[in-house]
Homo-oligomer: A and B are copies of this chain.
Amino acid sequence: MAKDNKKMVEQITSMDVDFAQWYTDVVKKAELMDYSSVKGCMIFRPYGYAIWENIQKDLDARFKALGHENVYMPMFIPESLLQKEKDHVEGFAPECAWVTIGGQNKLSEKLCVRPTSETLFCEHFKNVIQSYRDLPKLYNQWCSVVRWEKTTRPFLRTSEFLWQEGHTMHETEEEAREETLRMLKVYEDFYLEALAIPAVTGQKTEKEKFAGAEATYTIEPMMHNGVALQGGTTHYFGDGFAKAFDITFTGRDNQVRYPHQTSWGVSTRMIGAIIMTHGDDNGLILPPAIAPIQVVIVPIAQHKEGVLDKANELYDRLKAQGLRVKLDDSDQSTGWKFSQYEMKGVPVRLEIGPKDMENNSCVLVSRVTREKKFVSLDNLEEEVKAMLAQVHDELVARATANRIDKTSDATTHEEFLSIAENKPGFIRAMWCGDSACEDQLKDETGGVKSRCIPFVEDHLSDVCVCCGKPAKHMVIWGRQY
Protein backbone atom coordinates (compact mmCIF):
# COMPACT_ATOMS: atom_id res chain seq x y z
CA MET A 1 0.00 0.00 0.00
CA ALA A 2 1.40 3.37 -0.97
CA LYS A 3 0.17 6.90 -1.03
CA ASP A 4 1.29 9.68 -3.26
CA ASN A 5 0.02 13.19 -2.83
CA LYS A 6 2.25 15.12 -5.11
CA LYS A 7 0.60 17.38 -7.63
CA MET A 8 0.77 15.47 -10.88
CA VAL A 9 -0.91 17.89 -13.21
CA GLU A 10 1.08 21.08 -13.33
CA GLN A 11 -0.95 22.99 -15.87
CA ILE A 12 -3.93 23.40 -13.50
CA THR A 13 -4.01 26.42 -11.19
CA SER A 14 -4.30 25.41 -7.52
CA MET A 15 -7.77 25.77 -5.99
CA ASP A 16 -6.39 27.79 -3.09
CA VAL A 17 -4.66 30.24 -5.39
CA ASP A 18 -7.64 31.01 -7.59
CA PHE A 19 -10.73 28.81 -7.47
CA ALA A 20 -12.34 30.42 -10.53
CA GLN A 21 -9.19 29.92 -12.58
CA TRP A 22 -8.85 26.36 -11.28
CA TYR A 23 -12.40 25.71 -12.55
CA THR A 24 -11.68 27.20 -15.97
CA ASP A 25 -8.45 25.21 -16.23
CA VAL A 26 -10.20 21.97 -15.36
CA VAL A 27 -13.08 22.31 -17.82
CA LYS A 28 -10.65 23.14 -20.62
CA LYS A 29 -7.76 20.77 -19.82
CA ALA A 30 -10.01 17.81 -19.07
CA GLU A 31 -11.56 18.45 -22.50
CA LEU A 32 -15.07 18.86 -21.18
CA MET A 33 -15.89 21.95 -23.24
CA ASP A 34 -14.71 24.49 -25.75
CA TYR A 35 -15.76 28.08 -26.29
CA SER A 36 -17.60 29.06 -29.44
CA SER A 37 -17.99 32.37 -31.24
CA VAL A 38 -21.61 32.45 -30.10
CA LYS A 39 -21.74 34.76 -27.11
CA GLY A 40 -22.58 32.95 -23.89
CA CYS A 41 -22.89 29.52 -25.52
CA MET A 42 -20.49 26.62 -25.09
CA ILE A 43 -19.52 23.45 -26.91
CA PHE A 44 -19.87 20.13 -25.10
CA ARG A 45 -16.87 18.07 -26.15
CA PRO A 46 -17.15 14.24 -26.17
CA TYR A 47 -15.92 13.75 -22.61
CA GLY A 48 -18.24 16.43 -21.24
CA TYR A 49 -21.20 15.25 -23.26
CA ALA A 50 -20.64 11.63 -22.19
CA ILE A 51 -21.11 12.72 -18.58
CA TRP A 52 -24.41 14.31 -19.60
CA GLU A 53 -25.46 11.12 -21.43
CA ASN A 54 -24.81 9.07 -18.30
CA ILE A 55 -26.77 11.55 -16.21
CA GLN A 56 -29.64 11.42 -18.69
CA LYS A 57 -29.73 7.65 -18.79
CA ASP A 58 -29.88 7.35 -15.01
CA LEU A 59 -32.40 10.13 -14.43
CA ASP A 60 -34.58 9.10 -17.35
CA ALA A 61 -34.92 5.61 -15.88
CA ARG A 62 -35.90 7.10 -12.51
CA PHE A 63 -38.57 9.26 -14.18
CA LYS A 64 -39.97 6.41 -16.25
CA ALA A 65 -40.07 4.07 -13.24
CA LEU A 66 -42.55 6.56 -11.73
CA GLY A 67 -44.72 6.57 -14.84
CA HIS A 68 -43.42 9.68 -16.59
CA GLU A 69 -43.42 9.79 -20.39
CA ASN A 70 -41.14 11.83 -22.63
CA VAL A 71 -42.51 14.26 -25.19
CA TYR A 72 -41.07 16.99 -27.37
CA MET A 73 -42.55 20.47 -27.75
CA PRO A 74 -41.55 23.13 -30.28
CA MET A 75 -38.54 25.26 -29.36
CA PHE A 76 -40.40 28.48 -30.16
CA ILE A 77 -43.07 30.26 -28.12
CA PRO A 78 -45.18 32.94 -29.83
CA GLU A 79 -45.14 36.17 -27.84
CA SER A 80 -48.89 36.01 -27.23
CA LEU A 81 -48.59 32.50 -25.78
CA LEU A 82 -45.80 33.48 -23.41
CA GLN A 83 -47.91 36.39 -22.20
CA LYS A 84 -50.84 34.26 -21.09
CA GLU A 85 -49.63 33.90 -17.50
CA LYS A 86 -48.72 37.30 -16.04
CA ASP A 87 -46.09 36.42 -13.42
CA HIS A 88 -44.45 33.96 -15.76
CA VAL A 89 -43.93 36.39 -18.61
CA GLU A 90 -42.63 39.05 -16.21
CA GLY A 91 -40.07 36.56 -14.95
CA PHE A 92 -38.83 35.38 -18.31
CA ALA A 93 -39.39 38.09 -20.93
CA PRO A 94 -36.28 40.09 -19.89
CA GLU A 95 -33.99 37.19 -20.73
CA CYS A 96 -35.60 35.88 -23.92
CA ALA A 97 -33.97 35.52 -27.31
CA TRP A 98 -36.45 36.50 -30.02
CA VAL A 99 -36.75 35.22 -33.56
CA THR A 100 -38.12 38.05 -35.69
CA ILE A 101 -37.22 36.85 -39.20
CA GLY A 102 -38.15 33.50 -40.73
CA GLY A 103 -37.41 32.47 -44.33
CA GLN A 104 -36.28 36.01 -45.21
CA ASN A 105 -39.54 37.59 -44.06
CA LYS A 106 -40.28 39.62 -40.96
CA LEU A 107 -42.61 37.53 -38.79
CA SER A 108 -46.01 38.97 -37.97
CA GLU A 109 -45.49 37.77 -34.39
CA LYS A 110 -42.07 37.36 -32.87
CA LEU A 111 -41.14 33.97 -31.41
CA CYS A 112 -39.24 33.47 -28.18
CA VAL A 113 -36.69 30.64 -28.09
CA ARG A 114 -38.03 28.67 -25.11
CA PRO A 115 -36.49 29.66 -21.77
CA THR A 116 -38.79 26.99 -20.24
CA SER A 117 -41.91 25.37 -21.67
CA GLU A 118 -44.82 25.77 -19.23
CA THR A 119 -46.83 27.74 -21.78
CA LEU A 120 -46.30 25.20 -24.58
CA PHE A 121 -47.25 22.33 -22.31
CA CYS A 122 -50.36 24.16 -21.16
CA GLU A 123 -51.49 24.82 -24.72
CA HIS A 124 -51.14 21.08 -25.40
CA PHE A 125 -52.74 20.01 -22.10
CA LYS A 126 -55.84 21.95 -23.11
CA ASN A 127 -56.15 19.65 -26.14
CA VAL A 128 -55.59 16.35 -24.39
CA ILE A 129 -57.26 16.74 -21.00
CA GLN A 130 -61.03 16.42 -20.92
CA SER A 131 -61.85 14.01 -18.13
CA TYR A 132 -60.36 12.75 -14.87
CA ARG A 133 -59.57 9.65 -16.91
CA ASP A 134 -56.96 11.73 -18.76
CA LEU A 135 -55.19 12.53 -15.49
CA PRO A 136 -52.56 12.51 -14.25
CA LYS A 137 -50.48 13.60 -17.22
CA LEU A 138 -46.86 12.92 -16.26
CA TYR A 139 -44.70 14.42 -18.99
CA ASN A 140 -41.01 15.13 -19.29
CA GLN A 141 -38.90 16.73 -22.00
CA TRP A 142 -35.14 16.62 -22.64
CA CYS A 143 -34.11 19.67 -24.62
CA SER A 144 -32.04 22.83 -24.73
CA VAL A 145 -33.32 26.17 -23.49
CA VAL A 146 -32.10 29.73 -23.89
CA ARG A 147 -31.89 32.49 -21.31
CA TRP A 148 -29.92 35.55 -22.35
CA GLU A 149 -27.25 35.87 -19.67
CA LYS A 150 -24.90 38.82 -19.24
CA THR A 151 -22.07 36.98 -17.52
CA THR A 152 -21.56 33.35 -18.27
CA ARG A 153 -19.40 30.51 -17.01
CA PRO A 154 -19.11 27.03 -18.57
CA PHE A 155 -21.82 24.61 -17.33
CA LEU A 156 -22.86 26.97 -14.49
CA ARG A 157 -24.48 29.77 -16.41
CA THR A 158 -24.71 29.82 -20.17
CA SER A 159 -27.16 31.46 -22.55
CA GLU A 160 -28.08 28.05 -23.91
CA PHE A 161 -28.10 24.98 -21.70
CA LEU A 162 -29.36 21.41 -21.78
CA TRP A 163 -31.90 20.22 -19.26
CA GLN A 164 -34.98 18.16 -18.59
CA GLU A 165 -38.25 19.78 -17.70
CA GLY A 166 -41.03 17.72 -16.14
CA HIS A 167 -44.58 19.02 -16.53
CA THR A 168 -47.43 17.23 -14.82
CA MET A 169 -51.18 17.76 -14.38
CA HIS A 170 -53.21 16.23 -11.57
CA GLU A 171 -56.80 15.81 -10.43
CA THR A 172 -56.21 17.20 -6.96
CA GLU A 173 -54.03 19.72 -5.20
CA GLU A 174 -52.86 17.01 -2.83
CA GLU A 175 -51.64 14.77 -5.62
CA ALA A 176 -49.84 17.65 -7.34
CA ARG A 177 -48.17 18.73 -4.13
CA GLU A 178 -47.05 15.12 -3.57
CA GLU A 179 -45.56 15.04 -7.06
CA THR A 180 -43.62 18.24 -6.37
CA LEU A 181 -42.02 16.71 -3.29
CA ARG A 182 -41.66 13.27 -4.87
CA MET A 183 -39.57 14.70 -7.71
CA LEU A 184 -37.46 16.73 -5.29
CA LYS A 185 -36.73 13.43 -3.57
CA VAL A 186 -35.81 11.86 -6.92
CA TYR A 187 -33.31 14.68 -7.42
CA GLU A 188 -31.98 14.32 -3.88
CA ASP A 189 -31.50 10.56 -4.32
CA PHE A 190 -29.89 11.06 -7.72
CA TYR A 191 -27.47 13.65 -6.40
CA LEU A 192 -26.44 11.31 -3.60
CA GLU A 193 -26.48 7.96 -5.40
CA ALA A 194 -25.18 8.99 -8.82
CA LEU A 195 -23.29 12.25 -8.27
CA ALA A 196 -22.05 11.42 -4.73
CA ILE A 197 -23.27 14.86 -3.63
CA PRO A 198 -25.09 15.14 -0.30
CA ALA A 199 -27.21 18.24 -0.92
CA VAL A 200 -29.52 20.33 1.25
CA THR A 201 -33.16 20.43 0.17
CA GLY A 202 -35.98 22.71 1.19
CA GLN A 203 -38.50 25.33 0.12
CA LYS A 204 -37.62 28.60 -1.56
CA THR A 205 -38.85 31.82 0.05
CA GLU A 206 -41.52 33.90 -1.73
CA LYS A 207 -38.81 36.15 -3.10
CA GLU A 208 -36.81 33.32 -4.62
CA LYS A 209 -39.59 31.19 -6.04
CA PHE A 210 -40.19 30.51 -9.75
CA ALA A 211 -42.15 32.94 -11.90
CA GLY A 212 -45.75 31.79 -11.73
CA ALA A 213 -45.34 29.12 -9.04
CA GLU A 214 -47.21 28.86 -5.75
CA ALA A 215 -44.33 27.00 -4.14
CA THR A 216 -40.79 26.21 -5.27
CA TYR A 217 -38.55 23.55 -3.75
CA THR A 218 -34.85 23.35 -4.33
CA ILE A 219 -31.81 21.15 -4.00
CA GLU A 220 -28.71 23.10 -2.97
CA PRO A 221 -25.36 21.37 -3.11
CA MET A 222 -22.39 23.19 -1.60
CA MET A 223 -19.27 23.51 -3.73
CA HIS A 224 -15.80 22.85 -2.34
CA ASN A 225 -15.23 26.56 -1.78
CA GLY A 226 -18.42 26.99 0.23
CA VAL A 227 -20.46 28.60 -2.51
CA ALA A 228 -23.93 27.17 -3.17
CA LEU A 229 -25.35 26.09 -6.50
CA GLN A 230 -29.07 25.92 -7.14
CA GLY A 231 -28.96 22.32 -8.25
CA GLY A 232 -32.53 21.73 -9.33
CA THR A 233 -36.03 22.94 -8.54
CA THR A 234 -39.56 21.59 -8.41
CA HIS A 235 -42.61 23.83 -8.57
CA TYR A 236 -46.21 23.55 -7.49
CA PHE A 237 -48.33 25.84 -9.66
CA GLY A 238 -51.78 25.28 -8.21
CA ASP A 239 -54.32 25.94 -10.95
CA GLY A 240 -52.95 29.33 -12.01
CA PHE A 241 -51.75 28.26 -15.42
CA ALA A 242 -54.79 26.02 -15.89
CA LYS A 243 -57.04 29.07 -15.40
CA ALA A 244 -54.91 31.28 -17.65
CA PHE A 245 -55.00 28.61 -20.38
CA ASP A 246 -58.57 27.46 -19.70
CA ILE A 247 -57.61 23.83 -19.09
CA THR A 248 -60.51 21.99 -17.47
CA PHE A 249 -61.61 18.43 -16.86
CA THR A 250 -64.80 16.71 -15.86
CA GLY A 251 -64.27 15.23 -12.42
CA ARG A 252 -65.49 11.97 -10.93
CA ASP A 253 -68.44 13.94 -9.56
CA ASN A 254 -69.24 15.25 -13.06
CA GLN A 255 -68.21 18.78 -12.10
CA VAL A 256 -65.90 20.76 -14.37
CA ARG A 257 -62.65 21.58 -12.56
CA TYR A 258 -59.18 22.98 -13.13
CA PRO A 259 -56.32 20.49 -12.82
CA HIS A 260 -53.33 21.13 -10.56
CA GLN A 261 -49.90 21.47 -12.08
CA THR A 262 -46.22 20.95 -11.33
CA SER A 263 -42.96 21.37 -13.14
CA TRP A 264 -39.41 20.39 -12.24
CA GLY A 265 -36.01 20.53 -13.83
CA VAL A 266 -32.30 19.89 -13.58
CA SER A 267 -29.69 20.91 -16.11
CA THR A 268 -26.13 20.52 -17.38
CA ARG A 269 -25.25 22.81 -14.47
CA MET A 270 -24.98 19.52 -12.56
CA ILE A 271 -21.71 18.91 -14.39
CA GLY A 272 -20.44 22.13 -12.81
CA ALA A 273 -21.59 20.84 -9.42
CA ILE A 274 -19.66 17.58 -9.90
CA ILE A 275 -16.49 19.44 -10.85
CA MET A 276 -16.64 21.92 -7.98
CA THR A 277 -17.76 19.44 -5.33
CA HIS A 278 -15.27 16.65 -5.98
CA GLY A 279 -12.36 18.09 -7.99
CA ASP A 280 -8.90 18.70 -6.58
CA ASP A 281 -5.66 20.33 -7.66
CA ASN A 282 -4.97 17.51 -10.09
CA GLY A 283 -8.25 18.05 -11.90
CA LEU A 284 -11.56 16.28 -12.08
CA ILE A 285 -12.75 13.49 -9.84
CA LEU A 286 -15.79 11.80 -11.33
CA PRO A 287 -18.30 9.77 -9.34
CA PRO A 288 -18.23 6.22 -10.76
CA ALA A 289 -21.95 6.17 -11.60
CA ILE A 290 -21.59 8.90 -14.25
CA ALA A 291 -17.91 8.64 -15.20
CA PRO A 292 -17.49 8.06 -18.97
CA ILE A 293 -14.46 5.93 -18.08
CA GLN A 294 -14.77 4.12 -14.76
CA VAL A 295 -11.52 2.19 -15.02
CA VAL A 296 -8.49 3.02 -17.11
CA ILE A 297 -6.01 0.23 -17.74
CA VAL A 298 -2.42 1.43 -18.08
CA PRO A 299 0.00 -1.30 -19.20
CA ILE A 300 3.46 -1.00 -17.62
CA ALA A 301 6.42 -1.76 -19.90
CA GLN A 302 3.91 -2.57 -22.60
CA HIS A 303 6.62 -3.57 -25.09
CA LYS A 304 7.46 -6.60 -22.91
CA GLU A 305 6.05 -9.87 -24.09
CA GLY A 306 2.55 -10.69 -22.99
CA VAL A 307 1.77 -7.37 -21.29
CA LEU A 308 -0.63 -6.05 -23.90
CA ASP A 309 -2.27 -9.46 -24.26
CA LYS A 310 -2.84 -9.57 -20.52
CA ALA A 311 -4.08 -5.96 -20.49
CA ASN A 312 -6.55 -6.82 -23.23
CA GLU A 313 -7.68 -9.88 -21.31
CA LEU A 314 -8.38 -7.77 -18.22
CA TYR A 315 -10.16 -5.20 -20.40
CA ASP A 316 -12.46 -7.91 -21.74
CA ARG A 317 -13.15 -9.26 -18.26
CA LEU A 318 -14.15 -5.84 -16.90
CA LYS A 319 -16.10 -4.94 -20.03
CA ALA A 320 -18.07 -8.17 -19.63
CA GLN A 321 -19.17 -6.89 -16.23
CA GLY A 322 -20.78 -3.89 -17.88
CA LEU A 323 -18.08 -1.55 -16.63
CA ARG A 324 -16.93 1.41 -18.72
CA VAL A 325 -13.28 0.60 -19.26
CA LYS A 326 -10.55 2.14 -21.38
CA LEU A 327 -7.24 0.49 -22.20
CA ASP A 328 -4.63 3.07 -23.13
CA ASP A 329 -2.00 1.24 -25.18
CA SER A 330 -0.88 4.40 -26.99
CA ASP A 331 2.80 5.24 -27.27
CA GLN A 332 2.55 8.02 -24.69
CA SER A 333 4.72 7.57 -21.58
CA THR A 334 3.34 5.88 -18.50
CA GLY A 335 3.78 9.12 -16.57
CA TRP A 336 1.78 11.05 -19.15
CA LYS A 337 -0.99 8.47 -18.97
CA PHE A 338 -1.13 8.56 -15.18
CA SER A 339 -1.37 12.34 -15.22
CA GLN A 340 -3.87 12.45 -18.09
CA TYR A 341 -6.46 10.15 -16.48
CA GLU A 342 -5.84 11.72 -13.09
CA MET A 343 -6.79 15.05 -14.63
CA LYS A 344 -9.79 13.54 -16.35
CA GLY A 345 -11.00 12.19 -13.01
CA VAL A 346 -11.18 8.49 -13.89
CA PRO A 347 -12.14 6.87 -10.55
CA VAL A 348 -9.90 3.79 -10.73
CA ARG A 349 -6.60 3.18 -12.52
CA LEU A 350 -5.46 -0.38 -13.15
CA GLU A 351 -1.75 -0.98 -13.72
CA ILE A 352 -0.53 -4.25 -15.16
CA GLY A 353 3.12 -5.03 -15.93
CA PRO A 354 5.51 -7.99 -16.17
CA LYS A 355 6.08 -8.19 -12.40
CA ASP A 356 2.36 -8.11 -11.68
CA MET A 357 1.86 -10.89 -14.20
CA GLU A 358 4.42 -13.04 -12.43
CA ASN A 359 2.43 -12.60 -9.23
CA ASN A 360 -0.93 -13.12 -10.94
CA SER A 361 -1.89 -9.68 -9.67
CA CYS A 362 -2.37 -6.09 -10.73
CA VAL A 363 -2.40 -2.69 -9.06
CA LEU A 364 -5.55 -0.65 -8.51
CA VAL A 365 -5.23 3.03 -7.66
CA SER A 366 -8.08 5.12 -6.29
CA ARG A 367 -8.39 8.63 -7.76
CA VAL A 368 -9.66 9.97 -4.43
CA THR A 369 -7.16 8.62 -1.90
CA ARG A 370 -4.43 7.60 -4.35
CA GLU A 371 -4.22 4.39 -2.35
CA LYS A 372 -2.46 1.65 -4.32
CA LYS A 373 -3.81 -1.82 -3.85
CA PHE A 374 -2.23 -5.02 -5.11
CA VAL A 375 -5.01 -7.42 -5.97
CA SER A 376 -5.06 -10.98 -7.20
CA LEU A 377 -6.31 -11.36 -10.75
CA ASP A 378 -8.50 -14.18 -9.48
CA ASN A 379 -10.71 -11.59 -7.79
CA LEU A 380 -10.32 -8.82 -10.32
CA GLU A 381 -14.00 -8.08 -10.94
CA GLU A 382 -14.90 -7.98 -7.25
CA GLU A 383 -11.88 -5.87 -6.35
CA VAL A 384 -12.56 -3.30 -9.06
CA LYS A 385 -16.21 -3.05 -8.14
CA ALA A 386 -15.29 -2.71 -4.49
CA MET A 387 -12.88 0.11 -5.21
CA LEU A 388 -15.46 1.90 -7.36
CA ALA A 389 -17.96 1.63 -4.50
CA GLN A 390 -15.28 2.88 -2.14
CA VAL A 391 -14.56 5.88 -4.37
CA HIS A 392 -18.24 6.73 -4.33
CA ASP A 393 -18.44 6.45 -0.55
CA GLU A 394 -15.32 8.51 -0.03
CA LEU A 395 -16.63 11.25 -2.29
CA VAL A 396 -19.86 11.37 -0.32
CA ALA A 397 -17.97 11.40 2.99
CA ARG A 398 -15.61 14.16 1.86
CA ALA A 399 -18.39 16.35 0.50
CA THR A 400 -20.43 15.81 3.66
CA ALA A 401 -17.48 16.75 5.85
CA ASN A 402 -16.86 19.84 3.75
CA ARG A 403 -20.46 20.92 4.08
CA ILE A 404 -20.49 20.41 7.84
CA ASP A 405 -17.19 22.23 8.14
CA LYS A 406 -18.46 25.16 6.10
CA THR A 407 -21.86 25.55 7.75
CA SER A 408 -22.17 28.06 10.60
CA ASP A 409 -25.01 29.17 12.83
CA ALA A 410 -25.68 32.88 13.37
CA THR A 411 -28.03 34.14 16.05
CA THR A 412 -27.31 37.85 15.86
CA HIS A 413 -27.11 40.35 13.03
CA GLU A 414 -23.42 41.06 13.74
CA GLU A 415 -22.58 37.40 13.86
CA PHE A 416 -24.32 36.90 10.51
CA LEU A 417 -22.37 39.73 8.88
CA SER A 418 -19.10 38.58 10.40
CA ILE A 419 -19.52 35.00 9.18
CA ALA A 420 -20.63 36.23 5.76
CA GLU A 421 -17.46 38.30 5.53
CA ASN A 422 -14.97 35.85 6.99
CA LYS A 423 -16.11 32.30 6.42
CA PRO A 424 -17.32 30.95 3.08
CA GLY A 425 -20.21 28.52 3.31
CA PHE A 426 -23.77 28.18 4.50
CA ILE A 427 -25.15 30.24 7.37
CA ARG A 428 -28.10 28.91 9.34
CA ALA A 429 -30.12 31.73 10.86
CA MET A 430 -33.68 32.57 11.89
CA TRP A 431 -35.89 34.76 9.71
CA CYS A 432 -39.14 36.68 10.19
CA GLY A 433 -40.60 35.83 6.79
CA ASP A 434 -40.25 39.35 5.37
CA SER A 435 -38.46 39.67 2.03
CA ALA A 436 -37.21 43.11 3.08
CA CYS A 437 -34.86 41.30 5.48
CA GLU A 438 -33.63 39.09 2.62
CA ASP A 439 -32.92 42.22 0.58
CA GLN A 440 -31.12 43.89 3.47
CA LEU A 441 -28.90 40.89 4.24
CA LYS A 442 -28.05 40.49 0.57
CA ASP A 443 -27.06 44.15 0.31
CA GLU A 444 -25.07 44.16 3.53
CA THR A 445 -23.12 41.04 2.63
CA GLY A 446 -22.71 41.68 -1.04
CA GLY A 447 -24.67 38.65 -2.15
CA VAL A 448 -25.64 36.25 0.62
CA LYS A 449 -29.17 35.07 -0.21
CA SER A 450 -31.65 32.67 1.28
CA ARG A 451 -30.97 29.22 -0.20
CA CYS A 452 -33.99 27.50 1.30
CA ILE A 453 -36.13 26.79 4.31
CA PRO A 454 -35.09 23.18 5.05
CA PHE A 455 -37.73 20.56 5.76
CA VAL A 456 -36.37 20.05 9.25
CA GLU A 457 -35.72 23.40 10.94
CA ASP A 458 -33.76 23.84 14.14
CA HIS A 459 -34.79 26.51 16.61
CA LEU A 460 -31.67 28.68 16.87
CA SER A 461 -33.32 31.68 18.50
CA ASP A 462 -36.68 33.41 18.78
CA VAL A 463 -36.02 36.34 16.51
CA CYS A 464 -35.10 37.22 12.94
CA VAL A 465 -31.37 37.60 12.53
CA CYS A 466 -31.96 40.78 10.56
CA CYS A 467 -34.82 42.80 12.04
CA GLY A 468 -35.22 41.23 15.47
CA LYS A 469 -38.93 40.59 15.00
CA PRO A 470 -40.32 37.13 15.90
CA ALA A 471 -38.82 34.43 13.72
CA LYS A 472 -40.97 32.24 11.49
CA HIS A 473 -38.37 29.98 9.95
CA MET A 474 -34.83 28.79 10.09
CA VAL A 475 -33.28 29.61 6.74
CA ILE A 476 -30.06 28.40 5.13
CA TRP A 477 -28.23 31.32 3.59
CA GLY A 478 -25.28 31.48 1.25
CA ARG A 479 -23.64 32.95 -1.79
CA GLN A 480 -24.44 31.25 -5.07
CA TYR A 481 -23.09 30.62 -8.51
CB within 8 Å for A100 and B98 given contacts A37-B78, A43-B74, A73-B43: yes
- Binary B-proximity of A48-68 (CB < 8 A = 1, otherwise 0): 011011000000000000000
- How many chain A residues have a CB neighbour from B under 8 Å? 55
CA distance A36 to B99 in the complex (A): 17
Binds B, one of A140-148, A346-354, A461-469: A140-148
Q: Give, as a whole number of angstroms, the nearest-CB distance from A356 to chain B.
A: 29
CB within 8 Å for A103 and B69 given contacts A74-B38, A78-B38: no
* Chain B residues within 8 Å of A120, by CB: 36, 38, 43
A150 interface hit (Cβ, 8 Å): yes
CB within 8 Å for A150 and B38 given contacts A43-B73, A46-B69, A162-B72: no
* Chain B residues within 8 Å of A44, by CB: 71-73
CB contacts under 8 Å to B, within A78-132, are 78, 81, 93-104, 110-111, 113, 120, 123-124, 127-128
Q: Choose among B53, B71, B81, B148 the residue that contacts A103 (Cβ–Cβ < 8 A).
A: B148
CB within 8 Å for A41 and B95 given contacts A36-B123, A103-B150: no
Which of A94, A110, A128, A148 counts the most chain B CB atoms within 10 A? A148
Q: Give, as a whole number of angstroms, the nearest-CB distance from A292 to chain B.
A: 10
CA distance A99 to B139 in the complex (A): 29
CA distance A75 to B36 in the complex (A): 11
Copies of the polypeptide in the assembly: 2
CA distance A269 to B284 in the complex (A): 40
A319 interface hit (Cβ, 8 Å): no
B46 touches A139 (CB 8 A): yes
A70 interface hit (Cβ, 8 Å): yes
A160 touches B76 (CB 8 A): yes
A111 touches B69 (CB 8 A): no
CA distance A265 to B12 in the complex (A): 38
CB contacts under 8 Å to B, within A14-47, are 34, 36-38, 41-46
A128 touches B71 (CB 8 A): no
CA distance A146 to B111 in the complex (A): 13
Q: Give, as a whole number of angstroms, the nearest-CB distance from A66 to chain B.
A: 14
Q: Give, as a whole number of angstroms, the nearest-CB distance from A91 to chain B.
A: 14
Q: Give, as a whole number of angstroms, the nearest-CB distance from A30 to chain B.
A: 14
CA distance A149 to B102 in the complex (A): 9
* Chain B residues within 8 Å of A139, by CB: 46
CB within 8 Å for A128 and B160 given contacts A101-B97, A103-B95: no
CA distance A123 to B44 in the complex (A): 14
* Chain B residues within 8 Å of A159, by CB: 102
CB contacts under 8 Å to B, within A154-211, are 159-160, 162
Can you list 17 residue pairs at the A/B interface with Cβ under 8 Å?
A34-B124, A34-B128, A36-B123, A38-B74, A38-B111, A43-B72, A43-B73, A44-B71, A46-B69, A75-B146, A75-B160, A76-B97, A97-B102, A97-B103, A100-B100, A102-B159, A143-B144
List A residues at the B interface (Cβ < 8 Å): 34, 36-38, 41-46, 49-50, 52-53, 69-78, 81, 93-104, 110-111, 113, 120, 123-124, 127-128, 139, 143-144, 146, 148-150, 159-160, 162
Closest 7 CB pairs of A and B: A103-B148, A41-B74, A46-B69, A44-B72, A98-B101, A102-B148, A38-B74
What 18 additional pairs, Cβ within 8 angstroms, besides A34-B124, A97-B101? A34-B128, A37-B78, A38-B120, A41-B74, A42-B74, A43-B124, A46-B69, A49-B69, A49-B72, A75-B160, A96-B101, A96-B102, A96-B103, A97-B103, A98-B99, A99-B113, A101-B110, A102-B148
